[in-house]
Chains A and B, each alone.
Chain A
């Protein structure tokens, strides 16, 4: 069976995966709540439903970040070598990028959690 996870991803783009998930999650959460509060009557469902939808979205976003982190961890050789990877070699470049991506994924994970925390505490829309 072919693995769902690609065997090798070595593009600069993977570096941005987690921050992009963070950015999209942020915009979607804020946008969705703003639209919901402006159009509650039209949408016709409770705020708690909104909470659950965005909670689910948060779980998906965190899952994608964890996947990005796993790929980065793999690219970094599962931590087999210590930074700094600053030799002018192809291998060191890959290791460095893997490590940087891993750190960015950690940051994005925490950020997504912080963005989602207000969902637990918001009482309802204020008008």
Chain B
């Protein structure tokens, strides 16, 4: 700072302060909308959560103003009240009022619960999707009414707009947590348990989901997308994907051969081919996804190649070995092949 700056008077500095605080406010407010915000709800569950948040915010603000007002009052007025009335203030404002407010908040939260966490018995036929958290990606299985797996995919969940989809949430290794802020509250995924969650989107769109429970080195790189589409489109997609034989994208026989030759099929499955591994994400419709490696990279052939060559450089602790020893041309080949899988 220069000497001139130091001698600057307050009036000169205030506008700058105001400008920067307005800029900050704009940044904060702009982060309140979009595809990953609990404050911009896209469905009924999320609306209730947002409503709860605003009730808490308003209540907290009222109490804060009251406390600050009392503080100012107390600092201005000395010895004006008896010790007895001070004791009464402590009894009422320090014990009775907080207990009553907590009681009301607890009841309100409990009352919201059944609507936020709608529950259907296992034998009731509803649309069910099973999602398993794995270090550091999401295994997604679409189930039929009887609970049988129709097909498997990963890192992207497609749901129909306007009706609740029931999720059966599991974990393969450690505790993860499934959270789509725009659609509802989070739910833990616990090894050995199946936790239910129902989410509904009222607007078509793509929503971001994240892992909300620290699960290892690449926890922060464990995201997914929820794609909410019109119910009819969803049905069409579901039956298309459920069909056993698939040939789309497999026109690239040479790419497939390279993929199989390098042993990728031991961990990854591509329906309709010899690749049937179940250790890593299913790649059958990999080209449909918007992102790569659980929301970590954009879905471009270049980034796919980069990921195959050295996954751990992009996601520390990743459960996929690096293939940097392969010829660059082979890696490019596989990336191009995978990008086109639809």
Contact = CB atoms under 8 A, between A and B. Distances in A.
Interface of A: 106, 110, 113-114, 117-118, 120-123, 126-127
B110 A126 contact: no
Interface in B79-132: 95, 99, 102-103, 106-107, 110-111, 113-114, 119, 121-122
B271 to A, nearest CB: 33
Nearest to A127: B122
Contacts of A118: 110
Determine the interface band of chain B, counting residues with CB < 8 A from chain A: 10 to 19
A117 B107 contact: yes
Interface of B: 95, 99, 102-103, 106-107, 110-111, 113-114, 119, 121-122, 196
A118 B119 CA distance: 17
B113 A114 contact: no
Contacts of A123: 114, 119
Contact of B114 (A114, A121, A127): A121
B102 A121 contact: no
A126 B102 contact: no
Contacts of A114: 102-103, 106
B95 A106 contact: yes
26 contacts: A106-B95, A110-B99, A110-B103, A113-B103, A114-B102, A114-B103, A114-B106, A117-B103, A117-B106, A117-B107, A117-B110, A118-B110, A120-B107, A120-B110, A121-B107, A121-B110, A121-B111, A121-B113, A121-B114, A122-B110, A123-B114, A123-B119, A126-B119, A126-B196, A127-B121, A127-B122
Majority secondary structure of chain A interface residues (helix, strand, loop or mixed): helix
A124 to B, nearest CB: 8
A127 to B, nearest CB: 7
A127 B122 CA distance: 8
A127 B103 CA distance: 28
A21 B102 CA distance: 21
A126 B106 CA distance: 20
- Which of A114, A121, A123, A127 has most chain B Cβ within 10 Å? A121
Contacts of B122: 127
Contacts of B121: 127
A30 to B, nearest CB: 15
A112 to B, nearest CB: 12
Contacts of B106: 114, 117
Contacts of A122: 110
B89 to A, nearest CB: 16
Contacts of B103: 110, 113-114, 117
A105 B54 CA distance: 34
Contacts of B196: 126
Nearest to B121: A127
A63 B121 CA distance: 38
A103 to B, nearest CB: 9
Contacts of B107: 117, 120-121
Nearest to B122: A127
Contacts of B113: 121
A113 B96 CA distance: 14
A123 B114 CA distance: 7
Nearest to A126: B119
A100 B315 CA distance: 56
Nearest to B112: A121
Nearest to A113: B103
Nearest to A124: B119
B6 to A, nearest CB: 52
A122 B103 CA distance: 16
Leading 7 A-B pairs by shortest Cβ distance: A121-B110, A123-B114, A110-B99, A126-B119, A117-B106, A118-B110, A121-B111
A114 B110 CA distance: 11
